[in-house]
Structure 1
Amino acid sequence: MTSTHIDVGVIDFGALGAWMDAQGLPGGDISGAVPVLGGTQNVMVRFERGGTPYILRRPPLHARQKSNEVLRREARVLAVLRDTPVPAPRLVAAQTADEPVFYLMEPVDGFNPSTGLPEPHAADPAIRHRMGLEAAAALAELGRVDPAALPGFGRPDGFLERQVPRWLKELDSYGRLDGYPGPDIPHLAETAEWLERHRPATFTPGVMHGDYHFANLMFAHDGPRVAAIVDWEMCTIGDPLLDLGWLLATWPSNNDHVPGLPQPGELVAYYTALSERDLSAIDWYAVLACFKLGIVLEGSHARACAGQAPRDIGDLLHATTLALFARAQEFMGGLLDRP
């Protein structure tokens, strides 16, 4: 084994090999173990065994309170998606009965656009434009998955009604942090009131990714196709249109990394053409995404004010919160109006 000189010491490769044998996977020595870098606090390691490459995903050595449960949910949803056209990492096998929970998946043959563009993407504006449309198409595919395949996975009843009170309560909780002066967020109350006043009366439950944005997508090396939607930590059963709202709320506005992406209205039109869902209230979902994400990021600002996080990062995220609430105003004013 080649794991002794790299930072993968949280993994017992002997026990992992025995477990893989019990799953009927190819045998042999585990070799080439290297960490997979990413924005998650979970551990991901790539290795090979029996000529087959794998990615192992497990909690960190000092697991967060919900780390194991999060991975149980991830493994469960990836098992369901394995037999669908949804581009997602392909689950190989999972150990969910004991802790630490872990699972194996096939490596994704793709790249993340937030780290730069390869060829032919860098040189071809048509490919870059199509990448944005493919992001909407992959999300529409996820919205077609039958939530009945994941019984008890979320709480779709009352999902929309819970959103604004839930996140206002979260924002209020930051007041317990010493040094946090309270939320200085223009249009906060106005946005909350608008959301409550315009909330859709009904929706069709479906599988949600929960954090659907461009940096959580990997694209094929040879074209604009989405190779995989990654980071399923927030997946649940809810209203899939909130995923589309999240994509719109976080859509790169300056296109530094991927110039020439479609405009938000184009994404909505493309999704609409591929989905049977009613998108007449898509503005509402985009505003809710700005509202929710802005409040989540304000939590880091509050912790920074209390000395629990770097102040420069807290200030940056507060600025992002303000930008999100400003974007919510644009959505409320008809940013997504389209022919």
Structure 2
Amino acid sequence: MESAVDMESLTAWMTDRGLGSGPLTGVATLAGGTQNILLRFTRDGRDYVFRRPPLHPRPNSNETMRREARVLRALAGTPVPHPGLITNCDDESVLGVAFYLMEPVEGFNPVGQLPEPHASSAEMRHAMGLALVDGIAALGALDHEALGLADFGKPANFLARQVDRWRSQLGGYREFEGWTGPDALPSVAAVGAWLERHRPERFTPGIMHGDYHLANVMYRPDGAELAAIIDWELATIGDPLLDLGWVLATWPDGKSESTVSVKPWDGFPSAEELVARYASKSDRDLSAIDWYHVLACYKLGILLEGTYARACAGKAPRDTGDKLHGRAVHLFERAEALIR
């Protein structure tokens, strides 16, 4: 992926901004949960992480980079663990895309096999689950207007827009030849109708991460605390309780393979413990938390079904599509159980 970045132009741009002198050394590609390109390197004794859109950017990729940089800048000095923004470049003429530089995070992502000492301590894993919720409780408590993010999203009618938005997305998959249609997802219409009938009347707007789960955080190597919340590309101003709903929708329930796999799993808190922990850290009204859990199942199930629809048309690997369709079906079964 280093070849996707004009290192000479990046070096010159950094020099112009007083970010060290001499060559960029130790350049290494970092794995990420998205197609965005991440490089770590050293210059003049300082370590940097570089982030840019994918090699084949989507139409909104550059704007997404600008938004990520903006929210990271706003989070500076807050209790929310995040990668520190060093600087960003909105000028696409420098490298052909918008990009930014951030401080490296010393930590690990928990997906897959946990390292030591976490793998050997059920007590530490329990604390890791609680720390996950602490991260969004802290995020949701921030005053987004005071942080300069008043225009970062459209919170008016945010909840009222959700079902139509995702119902429309599901309908759009009909363009993929071979897809079996919305009826392949159990109770999709009934779940959508229930969400419309039981929608909370009001909420307090705040910063949402937008894709919050174990795959999008890093933990400290020596403890259970979060080192950073990462991948802010879907951040907006909306209802922060949807972040908690997203955690619940991706949390294992013992009935199928989880959307996010962490091993060993024993010791992690139950969903009920996560909700109780959030309640202890936030003054938000959690009386309708099942609604947010159902909405997250609805939204995530529809997103996963998109890969299946593309796979039916030969535009994605069939085995991946089948696997994600199975998860989507399970999410709707979970939603159905919740509304019963």
TM-score range, shorter chain: over 0.9
The answer to whether the 8 A contact 2:119-2:264 is kept is no
Tell whether the 8 Å contact from 1:87 to 1:229 is kept in structure 2 after alignment: yes
How far did residue 266 of structure 1 move? Answer: 0.5
What is the DSSP-based 3-state SS (H/G/I as helix, E as strand, rest coil) of the residue aligned with 1:37?
coil
Distance apart, 1:81 and its partner CA: 0.8
How far, CA to CA, are the matches of 2:337 and 2:224 in structure 1?
29
Q: Which residue of structure 2 lines up, in the alignment, with residue 163 of structure 1?
A: 162
- Separation in structure 2 between the aligned mates of residue 225 and residue 258 of structure 1, nearest angstrom: 17
Q: Distance in 1 between matches of 2:292 and 2:206?
A: 15
| C-alpha distance after superposition, 1:77-123 (max 9, x if no partner) | 00001221101111111011335111001111111111321221111
Deviation at 1:40, TM superposition (A): 1.1
Q: Alignment partner of 1:147: what SS?
A: coil
Q: Where does residue 234 of structure 1 map in the other structure?
A: 234
Cα distance in 1 between the residues matched to 2:3 and 2:121: 43
Unmatched tracts of structure 1, length 5 or more: 1-6, 334-339
CA distance in 2, matches of 1:202, 1:318: 33
Instruction: Tell me how far 1:259 sits from its aligned partner.
Output: 2.2
Change (3 A) 1:258 1:27: farther
2:174 corresponding residue in structure 1: 175
2:116 partner SS:
coil
Aligned pairs for 1:99-118 (under 5 A) are 99-118=96-115
Report Cα offsets for 1:137-196 as digits up to 9, x if no partner: 011011012121213211110100000011111111111221112121111121111111
How many equivalent pairs are there?
327
Match of 2:41, SS state, is strand
Deviations 1:210-240 (A, max 9, x none): 0001111110011100111111111111100
Separation in 1, partners of 2:207, 2:8:
36
Query: AA paired with 1:142?
Result: L
Tell which has more relative contact order, 1 or 2 (C-alpha 8 A, sep 6+). Answer: 2
Q: Superposition pairs for residues 7-46 of structure 1, below 5 Å?
A: 7-46=1-40
What is the aligned partner in structure 1 of residue 116 from structure 2?
119
Q: Where does residue 337 of structure 1 map in the other structure?
A: none
3-state DSSP class of the match of 2:118?
Answer: coil
**AA in 2 matched with 1:321:** A
Q: Name the CA distance, whole Å, in 2 between partners of 1:169 and 1:299.
A: 12
Give the partner amino acid of 1:263: S
Name the SS of the counterpart of 1:48 in structure 2: strand
Give me the whole-angstrom Cα distance separating, in 1, the residues matched to 2:305 and 2:221.
36
2:309 equivalent in structure 1? 302
1:270 to 260, 272, 277: 277
SS in structure 2 at match of 1:72: helix
* One-letter amino acid of the counterpart of residue 161, structure 1: A
Bigger mean CA offset, 14-23 vs 39-48: 14-23
Match of 1:70 among 50, 53, 64: 64
How far has the Cα of 1:332 moved from its partner? 2.6
1:113 partner SS: coil
Instruction: Compute the TM-score of the two structures, normalised by the length of structure 2.
Output: 0.93
* Identity among equivalent pairs (%): 54
- Quick one: distance in 2 between partners of 1:51 and 1:67? 31
Residue matched to 1:185: 185
